């Protein structure tokens, strides 16, 4: 779920800004020479905006996206590829 621009009026970021920042940061981390396995922890709304960057709505609907879920991606040459969703259920 995305809150859109709700937080902008209170000094926060829009959902598009969150998506841009998250993607830029994760690309920067993945482009470092010393990375192998990276764990990123985030709120569900931010995670949702990240997966919207890399997956279609049809693909997102097939993912078990719950609180405390783990979304596993692989990264290569500037592209994140979704691998699986791991849920506590």
Q: pLDDT, tens digit, for every residue of 25-78?
A: 999 999 998 877 899 998 888 899 999 999 999 999 999 888 889 999 999 999
10 beta partners: none
H or E stretch covering 22: helix 15-30
Provide CB contacts within 8 A for 2, sequence distance 6+. 15, 45, 48, 49, 52
Mean pLDDT for 19-23 is 94
- Is the pLDDT assigned to residue 21 strictly greater than 90? yes
pLDDT of amino acid 65: 83
Query: What residue ranges do the domains of the chain occupy?
Result: 6-63
- Is the pLDDT assigned to residue 83 strictly greater than 80? yes
């Amino acid at each position: 779920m995305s809150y859109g621009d709700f937080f902008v009026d209170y000094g926060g970021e829009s959902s598009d800004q969150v998506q841009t920042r998250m993607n830029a940061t994760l690309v920067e981390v993945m482009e470092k020479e010393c990375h192998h396995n990276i764990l990123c922890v985030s709120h569900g709304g931010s995670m949702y905006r990240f997966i919207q960057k890399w997956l279609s709505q049809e693909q997102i609907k097939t993912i078990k996206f719950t609180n405390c879920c783990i979304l596993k991606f692989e990264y290569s040459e500037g592209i994140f590829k979704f691998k699986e969703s791991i849920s506590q259920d």
